[in-house]
Amino acid sequence: MDFSLQHNYLNRRHCIVLAANLAGIGISSGVAAATAQPGRTAHTLLVLGDSLSAEYGLRRGTGWVALLAQKLQAEKIRAQVVNASISGDTSSGGRTRLPALLAQHQPTLVVIELGANDALRGLPLDLTRDNLLAMTQMAQQSGARVVLLGMQVPPNYGRDYTQRFARMYADLAKTTQAALVPFFLKGIADAPDSLAWFQADRIHPLEKAHPRMLANVWPTLKKGLQ
């Protein structure tokens, strides 16, 4: 999906080509720990996402998840951030991986940033919704709070699909009482100069966009840590 297409949309054929490229992107995952003071870690944040959270095309340590770890340290919040994001991942992949991640890390807060690749691959919207619902409930049943990062798709998918996709995250948040960031790429993909915020593939935000991405997420995350 070309997230920079708020003002310059791709045709559907180009989206399919981009989807194939995105699916071939390698894995980037790991653990970024931020502890502001000695003693037992008060929170463990698990980020379950795709290439937008896996630092694709960026210098290590410059993506929004790494910036989050730095932010927690600066705010003197005792927390560990586990980045379990995989480039190219879908909601089905996240649903499959989540049980083991919950068991291993026992997070107090789970951030779910998935769904965009489902749309790229033309997967049924009901499948994406069911997977996101299952992941949210699974995390909540483990005792974790959940933050859903909402996404949007270009209108070349059709107005009905575009509206239903965007509304899906809000509906899930309401149903499950999960916290919601309405649009993860707000101020980036919908900016007047949106092309200036993306890498050459026009899918992945540049390094300079990641502080904005964190700024979109931080107020909601901070509430979840209180």
Residues annotated catalytic, as ranges: 51, 201, 204
Cβ proximity of 65 and 32 under 8 Å? yes
The token duo for 224 is 């979840």
Q: Is 25 helix (H, G, I), strand (E, B) or coil?
A: coil
Strand partners, 79: 34, 43
d(CA 80, CA 25): 27
| 27 phi and psi angles, rounded to 5 deg | -85, 140
65 phi/psi in degrees, rounded to 5: -70, -40
What does the angle CA 150 – CA 13 – CA 5 come to, to the nearest 5 degrees? Answer: 45
- How buried is 32 (Cβ within 10 angstroms: 0-12 exposed, 13-18 middle, 19+ buried)? buried
Tokens of 162: 């575009």
